[in-house]
């Protein structure tokens, strides 16, 4: 959609537009588009998404219009329209290719029959007609490419066919045209499957919704609904927009966003997301976000923009392709000129071999081999609830050998509960809880929430706190009933000069059970300790074992908890090493230390509290990101649900993708090298070269599409 973004005093009106482009199927076609558009006055920047067939343009709306850009692209033989608009209704290029291909094939068969029956005069016009039908589309594209000074496969093919006709090879020229038409049609069809993976995300949300207005329910397009309006979602329907449940109760399948198949119970006050599927109950939902601002739209946008974050292997392949084509073209010229001058063979023989080399010179299969694998993997991951921000992170993920986990909320459930109160001397357990909860009621820390919740169940009303102050990573303090109350960890008590009993049997026992201790003091005297526990997730141990089976050299746990509590959880989960008592900046330093000692590090956390450590890691992974904008933005990889088993899946997918890329590159290079040798030796024919080039493209795309089935 074209959107004005800035108006300034120099009378420039900066705008952006996203277009869909039909016919942009190869890297050479991207070059043609860029060369046609860049001379237009007012164009500021243009970037192409080959897989998504999108063109993102920044321009000065005072000098350039979207219709002028559409017309310019039309001159290249491709069609372009604004993303939010519907294209014109005439038949697509794919349909025309199919019709021309069928016509070419029928005429070719007829010509061959005439030749077999001994009627060569009838065969010749049929060969010419077949060649004309099959070459129409390549000629149009070749003319456009030549105007842009681009040597794409269409130019090379037209030159090769013209050369074959000039040499009198009528049957072979027609066969080459027909095979090229088939291969190009198959290539476009196969590429379309990769594009459908992205479109499947976009089409998850319904286009209309049942809105309650003036006491009546009416179905209206989602674009006509405003935040604050109430919509009704019936059993079995998809949720059309993000919102809060205001009435009703149901189970909702959030798999389209999180990949988690288990339904989530939704009651009044719960948040629901567009694209999720309602279960057996009806719900009334107050809309909180428009369609373009929904969580689904956010995720879809991140998947689409992820393609711009190119993997290093993709950049290498592009650089190689830019060198490869000129070298092969130069070789073709040498083959056509040098041997005849040396008297090695007739001119026609070496000219034919040079024509074969021209066809082999196109690097389409090589250029497309990497991005199609990356996009297939990104789409598959998104469908399974794992958002990977780009090919660069996918490649890094495949190289990971060290995994570091945050403990609370990552390896453990993050649901802290008070289990014990250990008073000191004559202090009453209830008094310890009451004073602690009064201070902690002002804090949003998970431990504070657990203590406040537990105290509210025991004491009807808590006293107020004055002069509240929090010390991040250590504790909090305030004045309660005229007494200065401090609550926190041992470091906090050391900082305040408050002594704790040594030895303290109750505290040692609770720590040994894997519980965290929060100490409470009043007026400088320790009153006791409150034990809170957070149990490991059910799949934490299984996840660690799966990562170990994936040849991870080190699996570490990083936590701010004390040594004894951390040791108990580490023993239960069988991690290789753990580091306790870490403040956020120390977690970051520990990630850097692990990298220096072992290599590339993956850090798993909540995406917010662990932001420094996530940023320091080679790959930062945020858990449970479906409901958090911050987690979606800060992490390189986001697990949309709290399911830890998605992590080994993501690593397995990344490694499979890199294997797929290497296989595709190898297929492309080996076929090219083999046919270069065969062409120079005079063994390869034109039709064999066509199969080698466009056939290789179909093979690598089909191979990449296997990643869409990854589970």
- Is the omega angle on the peptide bond into residue 503 within 30 degrees of 0, that is, cis? yes
User: What's the pLDDT band for 284 if we cut at 50, 70, 90?
Assistant: very high
Long-range contacts of 329-337 (CB under 8 A, 24+ apart): 329/151, 329/358, 329/361, 331/357, 331/676, 331/680, 332/357, 332/358, 332/361, 335/679, 335/680
d(CA 195, CA 206): 20
Residue 521 has what pLDDT?
Answer: 93
d(CA 292, CA 588): 35
* Residue 202, token pair as written in the block: 């976009």
* Strand 475-480 to 483-488 pairing: antiparallel
User: Which residue has tokens 């303290």?
Assistant: 504
Cα 658 to its chain centre, rounded Å, is 15
Of the ranges 156-160, 186-190, 642-646, which one carries the lowest mean pLDDT score? 186-190
The contacts of residue 510 (CB under 8 Å, 6+ apart) are 419, 420, 422, 517, 529, 531
Tokens of 471: 């010390």
pLDDT tens-digit readout, 240-278: 889 999 999 998 888 767 766 678 889 898 889 888 888
Contacts of 469 (CB under 8 A, 6+ apart): 476, 477, 478
Is the pLDDT at 5 greater than 50? The verdict is no
> Of 602, 601, 600, 604, which Cα lies nearest the Cα of 639?
604
Using an 8 Å Cβ cutoff, are 87 and 79 in contact?
Answer: yes
Predicted confidence at residue 527, as pLDDT, reads: 93
Instruction: Find where tokens 């107020």 sit.
Output: 464
DSSP assignment of 252-305 equals EE-HHHH---S-EEE-TT-EE-TT-EE-SS-EEEEE-S-GGGSHHHHHHHHHHH
Query: What is the pLDDT, as a whole number, of residue 56?
Result: 86
Distance CA 568, CA 185 (A): 61
pLDDT in tens, 44-94: 888 887 767 788 899 988 889 988 999 888 888 788 888 777 665 444 566
- pLDDT at position 9: 41
Q: What DSSP element (H or E) covers 519? A: strand 516-522
What pLDDT score does 483 carry? 92
Higher pLDDT, 234 or 306: 234
Query: How crowded is residue 224: how many other Cβ atoms within 10 Å of its Cβ?
Result: 10
**From edge to edge, which strands make up the β-sheet containing 402-406?**
386-388, 637-639, 619-623, 601-605, 402-406, 554-558, 577-579
Q: What is the pLDDT of residues 675-696, one digit of tens each?
A: 888 888 888 887 787 777 777 8
Mean pLDDT, the chain, as a whole number? 82
Check whether 1 has a pLDDT greater than 50: no
> What pLDDT was estimated at residue 203?
64
Question: Which SS3 state, helix, strand or coil, does residue 111 take?
Answer: helix
374-412+537-654, CATH topology level? Rossmann fold (3.40.50)
Residues 264, 279: Cα–Cα separation, whole Å: 9
Structure tokens at 260: 């988690």
pLDDT band at 185 (very low <50, low <70, confident <90, very high): confident
Average pLDDT over residues 108-134: 85
- What does pTM read for this prediction? 0.70
Q: What is the CATH number of domain 3-82?
A: 3.30.70.100
- What confidence tier does 311 reach under pLDDT thresholds 50, 70, 90? low
Contact 104, 184 (CB under 8 A): no
Q: Tally Cβ neighbours within 10 Å of residue 341.
A: 9
CB 545 within 8 A of CB 422: no
Span 436-469, pLDDT tens digits: 999 988 887 778 888 988 998 888 788 888 989 8
Residue 556 above 90 pLDDT?
A: yes
The dihedral built from the CA positions of residue 456, 460, 461 and 462, taken in this order, carries a sign that is negative
Q: What is the model's pLDDT at position 10? A: 45
Selection from 129-133, 316-320, 704-708 with the highest mean pLDDT: 129-133
Paired tokens of 162:
């013209």
pLDDT at 405 over 60: yes
How far, in Å, are 345, 396, 526, 581, 601 from residue 620 at the CA level? 63, 11, 40, 21, 9
Rounded CA-CA distance 661/369 in Å is 6
What is the CATH T-level fold of the domain 417-533, as seen in this structure? Answer: Calcium-transporting ATPase, cytoplasmic domain N (3.40.1110)
Give, as one character, the DSSP assignment of residue 90. S
Instruction: Report the CATH number of the 208-293 domain.
Output: 2.70.150.10
Contact 369, 159 (CB under 8 A): no
Task: Indicate the SS3 state at residue 169.
Answer: coil
How much is the pLDDT for 658? Answer: 92
CA 328/CA 313 separation, integer angstroms: 22
Q: Give the pLDDT of residue 287.
A: 92
Give the alpha-carbon dihedral of 589, 593, 598, 603, to 10 degrees.
-10
What is the average per-residue pLDDT within 515-520?
Answer: 89
| Better-predicted residue by pLDDT, 659 or 634 | 659
What is the reported pLDDT for 11? 47
Among 509, 540, 522, 543, residue whose Cα is nearest residue 463: 522
Backbone φ and ψ of 18, nearest 5°:
-115, 125
Cα-atom radius of gyration of the chain, to the nearest Å?
33
Q: pLDDT value at position 626?
A: 57
What is the pLDDT at residue 628?
58
Residue 198 has pLDDT above 70, yes or no: no
Q: Cα separation of 696 and 688, whole Å? A: 12
Residues 6+ apart with CB under 8 A from 66: 2, 17, 19, 82
CA distance 294 to 221: 15
pLDDT computed for residue 649 by the predictor = 94
Query: Which class for 429: exposed (0-12), middle (13-18), buried (19 or more C-beta within 10 A)?
Result: middle
In this predicted model, which residue has the larger pLDDT, 291 or 427?
427
d(CA 411, CA 424): 32
pLDDT in tens, 206-230: 888 899 988 888 898 888 888 999 9
**What's CA 169's distance to the chain center, in Å?**
49
Give me the percent of the chain exceeding a pLDDT of 90.
19
How large is the average pLDDT for residues 420-439? 90
Q: Average pLDDT of 662-683? A: 86
Question: What token pair was written down for 293?
Answer: 């601002």
What average pLDDT score do residues 350-372 get? 79
The residue to which tokens 């130019």 are assigned: 155
* Residues with active-site annotation: 406
Indicate whether 403 pLDDT > 90: yes
Token pair belonging to 520: 């409470």
pLDDT for res 593: 92
pLDDT surpassing 90 at residue 652: yes
Alpha helices in 152-234 (DSSP H): 153-166, 170-202
Q: Is the pLDDT of residue 514 over 80?
A: no
- Residues 6 or more apart whose Cβ sits within 8 Å of residue 367: 26, 27, 317, 318, 321
Residue of 191, 204, 396, 391 whose CA lies nearest to 305: 391
Contact 181, 695 (CB under 8 A): no
Tokens representing residue 458 in the block: 């025991």
Of the listed ranges 49-53, 130-134, 257-261, 331-335, the least confidently predicted one is 257-261
390: closest CA among 53, 51, 646? 51
Supply the pLDDT for residue 7: 40
Min mean pLDDT across 97-106, 308-317, 516-525 is at 308-317
Residue 294 burial class via C-beta count within 10 angstroms: exposed 0-12, middle 13-18, buried 19 and up: buried
At 193, the pLDDT band (50, 70, 90 cuts) reads low
Token pair 């890329």 is at which residue?
661
**Domain boundaries, given as residue ranges, for the chain:** 3-82, 96-198+308-364+660-685, 208-293, 374-412+537-654, 417-533
DSSP 489: -
Which pLDDT does position 557 carry in this prediction?
Answer: 93
Alpha-carbon gap, residue 594 to 237, rounded angstroms? 48
Per-residue pLDDT, averaged over 633-657, amounts to 88
Res. 516: pLDDT tops 60 = yes
What is the arithmetic mean of pLDDT over 301-319?
A: 66
Q: Note whether 646 and 386 are within 8 A (CB).
A: yes
Average pLDDT of span 183-189: 71
């Amino acid at each position: 959609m074209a959107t004005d973004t800035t108006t300034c005093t120099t009378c420039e009106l900066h705008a952006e537009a996203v277009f869909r482009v039909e016919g942009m199927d190869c890297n050479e076609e991207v070059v043609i588009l860029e060369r046609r558009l860049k001379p237009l006055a007012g164009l500021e920047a243009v970037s192409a998404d080959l897989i998504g067939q999108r063109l993102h343009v920044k321009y000065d709306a005072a000098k350039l219009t979207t219709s002028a850009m559409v017309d310019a692209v039309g001159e290249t033989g491709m069609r372009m329209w604004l993303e939010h608009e519907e294209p014109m209704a005439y038949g697509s290029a794919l349909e025309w290719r199919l019709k021309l291909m069928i016509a070419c094939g029928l005429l070719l068969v007829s010509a061959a029959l005439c030749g077999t029956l001994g009627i060569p005069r009838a065969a010749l016009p049929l060969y010419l007609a077949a060649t004309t039908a099959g070459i129409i589309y390549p000629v149009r594209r070749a003319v456009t490419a030549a105007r842009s000074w681009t040597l794409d496969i269409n130019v090379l093919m037209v030159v090769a066919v013209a050369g074959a006709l000039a040499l009198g090879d009528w049957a072979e020229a027609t066969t080459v045209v027909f095979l090229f038409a088939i291969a190009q049609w198959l290539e476009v069809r196969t590429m379309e499957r990769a594009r459908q993976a992205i479109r499947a995300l976009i089409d998850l949300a319904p286009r209309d919704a049942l809105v309650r207005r003036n006491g009546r329910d009416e179905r209206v397009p989602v674009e006509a609904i405003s935040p604050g309006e109430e919509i009704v979602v019936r059993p079995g329907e998809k949720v059309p927009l993000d919102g809060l449940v205001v009435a009703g109760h149901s189970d909702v399948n959030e798999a389209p966003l999180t990949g988690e198949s288990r339904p989530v119970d939704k009651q009044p006050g719960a948040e629901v997301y567009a694209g999720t599927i309602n279960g057996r109950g009806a719900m009334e939902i107050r809309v909180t976000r428009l369609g373009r601002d929904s969580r689904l739209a956010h995720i879809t946008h991140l998947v689409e923009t992820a393609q711009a974050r190119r993997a290093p292997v993709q950049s290498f392949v592009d650089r190689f392709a830019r060198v490869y084509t000129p070298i092969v073209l130069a070789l073709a010229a040498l083959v056509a000129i040098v041997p005849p001058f040396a008297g090695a063979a007739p001119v026609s023989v070496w000219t034919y071999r040079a024509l074969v080399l021209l066809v082999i010179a196109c690097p389409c299969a090589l250029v497309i081999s990497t991005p199609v694998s990356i996009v297939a993997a990104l789409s598959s991951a998104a469908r399974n609830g794992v958002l990977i921000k780009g090919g660069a992170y996918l490649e890094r993920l495949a190289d990971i050998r060290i995994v570091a986990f945050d403990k609370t909320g990552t390896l453990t459930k993050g649901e802290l509960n008070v289990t014990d109160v250990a008073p000191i001397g004559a202090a009453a357990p209830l008094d310890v809880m009451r004073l602690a909860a009064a201070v902690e009621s002002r804090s949003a820390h998970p431990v504070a929430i657990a203590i406040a919740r537990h105290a509210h169940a025991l004491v009807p009303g808590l006293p107020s706190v004055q002069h509240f102050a929090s010390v991040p990573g250590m504790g909090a303090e305030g004045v309660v009933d005229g007494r200065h109350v401090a609550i926190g960890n041992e470091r906090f008590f050391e900082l305040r000069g408050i002594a704790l009993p040594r030895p303290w049997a109750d505290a040692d026992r609770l720590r040994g059970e894997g519980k965290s201790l929060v100490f409470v003091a009043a007026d400088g005297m320790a009153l006791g300790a409150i034990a809170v526990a957070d149990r490991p997730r059910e799949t934490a141990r299984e996840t660690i074992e799966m990562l170990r089976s994936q040849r991870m050299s080190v699996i570490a746990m990083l936590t701010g908890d004390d040594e004894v509590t951390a040791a108990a959880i580490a023993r239960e989960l069988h991690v290789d090493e753990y580091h306790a008592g870490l403040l956020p900046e120390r977690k970051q330093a520990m990630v850097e230390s692990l990298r220096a000692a072992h290599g590339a590090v993956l850090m798993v956390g909540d995406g917010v509290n662990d932001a420094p450590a996530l940023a320091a890691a080679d790959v930062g992974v945020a858990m449970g990101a479906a409901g958090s904008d911050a987690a979606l933005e800060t992490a390189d990889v986001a697990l949309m649900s709290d399911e830890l088993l998605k992590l080994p899946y993501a690593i397995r997918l990344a490694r499979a993708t890199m294997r797929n890329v290497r296989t595709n590159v190898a297929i492309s290079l080996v076929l090219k090298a083999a046919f270069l040798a065969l062409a120079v030796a005079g063994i390869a024919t034109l039709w064999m070269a066509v199969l080698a080039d466009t056939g290789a493209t179909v093979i690598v795309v089909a191979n990449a599409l296997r990643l869409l089935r990854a589970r």
